[in-house]
Structure 1
């Protein structure tokens, strides 16, 4: 039997790409960066980068997230601590030719966080901004700011983004993942608007309130109230220890 010969296999690089989702202005948004270098120079893409030789995949994803957003990451089930982003591995993408430079396998990650400030560009990114998901996915991944011609996202990032959005939409049906979009203390109305933004639907306030407050351990009263939404003071809650909604809150058909 012939000995194992590593040189018989083609070398390839490993990257991490990030689908960073947040809710801004009652719309589900993702972080988009304009590439400052080839390939796809000038095109919009998801943030990410090559995995360094001294780090594992989770460390690489957390590093890229911190560089792009300033957020620390917690790769664990919600509730997510204040100031940290929920981070989980999404899928692996390795089609030949997905990167014209070399054979590259990308391990994509999904990050969720409350309303985030304006991003800062880093690495090989020329600029960065929060883009509504519907603007990116409504035209096969084509995206343009005002005065620009639409162009597809770089690499296979339209597919990665679509997979990340669908992961978020499906998981909030049966888990407490939606609370990762909220601050440490939030109202039921603010949580409902997260579901509405992620699903792109309008939900009945009374039914929603009954569901989330009637599931033991899903929400825990914090003891405070707020008027930040206007009107009468609304009760504040925080995410409880329950990570599963049973029965699930099924996504309405559109």
Structure 2
């Protein structure tokens, strides 16, 4: 039995994978393997199969096109303008993730020329993929302002200047050092180490590590310390 007098519409997923390499934030792109827009830069996308959920399709497509697997992705709002795909009516469900590039780089294959691009220097993307990326980045910035999701990209030991640089890079802004230090230490999520990093100055900066014992317990104590005018309006 089927619903009568209804037009069939294709549903696709597009994977938006942001990465941090220790210095810069980047976006993973592939070269599209078929027309239209063949060999143009694209997000990792494909159609949901009858036996799949959207989450399962996203995982399958990401692995098929890049080799990446075991990546946690969250779905954001659908893109459904009737003219968004020139061939057929396709509704797209974008999925977004933020990963440590160094941790996952060994998984990536070259089947579709997967390549990392700086988020500040992206090539022209097919269809409405640029709008998807902008929305995903906005959502990521909103979430990172209120939850310590960037901490998972840090090495076991890090300095406060390194942590501040991570946030400044994501928001493309400068943050007041004293205010940042005061707020980040008030979360009780960090543990001060005895040794210092003296690679950039004689005085050096103390290393910190994530206090695993307090991380889950005090997760909700993480308060926004990004300037309000830098936080995109949105919801989790």
TM normalised by structure 1 equals 0.74
Is 1:41 aligned to residue 38 of structure 2?
Answer: yes
Superposition map of 1:1-254 within 5 A: 6-24=3-21, 26-67=23-64, 68=66, 70-74=68-72, 87-116=73-102, 117=105, 119-122=108-111, 125=112, 127-136=113-122, 143=123, 152-183=124-155, 186-216=158-188, 219-221=189-191, 227=197, 232=204, 234-238=206-210, 240-241=215-216, 242-244=218-220, 247-251=223-227, 253=229
Separation of aligned partners in 1, 2:159 and 2:60: 32
Separation of aligned partners in 2, 1:102 and 1:132: 31
Using a 3 Å threshold, how does the CA distance of structure 1 residues 161 and 17 change in structure 2: closer, same or farther?
Answer: same
2:147 and 2:223 in contact (8 A); partners too: no
Using a 3 Å threshold, how does the CA distance of structure 1 residues 236 and 130 change in structure 2: closer, same or farther?
Answer: same
Separation of aligned partners in 1, 2:92 and 2:134: 15
Separation of aligned partners in 2, 1:18 and 1:224: 41
For structure 1, list consecutive stretches of 5 or more residues without a partner in the other structure.
75-86, 137-142, 144-151
Structure 2 SS opposite 1:173: helix
- Shift of residue 110, structure 1, vs aligned partner: 1.0
Separation of aligned partners in 2, 1:191 and 1:64: 33
For structure 2, list consecutive stretches of 5 or more residues without a partner in the other structure.
231-236
Separation of aligned partners in 2, 1:113 and 1:135: 19
Using a 3 Å threshold, how does the CA distance of structure 1 residues 135 and 63 change in structure 2: closer, same or farther?
Answer: same
Separation of aligned partners in 2, 1:248 and 1:153: 33
Partner of 2:233: none
**Count of residue pairs the alignment pairs up:** 220
- Shift of residue 120, structure 1, vs aligned partner: 2.7
**RMSD between superposed Cα atoms in Å:** 2.8
More helix by share: 2
